[in-house]
Amino acid sequence: AQTVTQSQPEMSVQEAETVTLSCTYDTSESDYYLFWYKQPPSRQMILVIRQEAYKQQNATENRFSVNFQKAAKSFSLKISDSQLGDAAMYFCAYRSGAQGAQKLVFGQGTRLTINP
């Protein structure tokens, strides 16, 4: 079974600085996608960024980028120029590419605090 582990329950960063959130996963599959979701206090789940396992190039979305290390099964999220609105729970997620079995599995989450 696929598992996702986020080893940092809480992180904090000064506004305008850079922070990296860690995520590791375990799978025997070769076809999958990885995602980072943000959950603000409203409980809404918001997609931040996604990465295809077959792509070596790391995904980037504005101030958000990932460091995808497939051999190490690591998928960290870097937030540059942190803003107060980035404060939220961040979840790493894995989705299998196997047809008919595309479970979406989440990690435990990291609570990110932005200090003004």
For 60, the token pair is: 């980037």
Per-residue tokens: 78: 């870097």
Instruction: Determine, following the binding rule CB under 8 A, whether residue 58 of this chain makes contact with other proteins.
Output: no
**Does 104 engage in binding with other proteins (CB under 8 A)?**
yes
Which residue from 47, 69, 81, 115 is in contact with other proteins, where contact means CB under 8 A?
A: 47
**Contact yes or no for 58/30 (Cβ under 8 A):** no
Please pick, from the candidates 18, 26, 45, 113, the single residue that binds other proteins as defined by CB under 8 A. 45
Residue 66 CB: number of other CB atoms within 10 A?
Answer: 25
What are the angstrom distances between the C-alpha of 41 and each of 9, 45, 69?
Answer: 16, 10, 30
Q: How many positions of this chain bind other proteins (CB under 8 A)?
A: 29
Residues contributing to the site for other proteins (CB under 8 A): 1, 6, 9, 31-33, 35, 43-45, 47, 50, 52, 91, 95-97, 99-109, 111
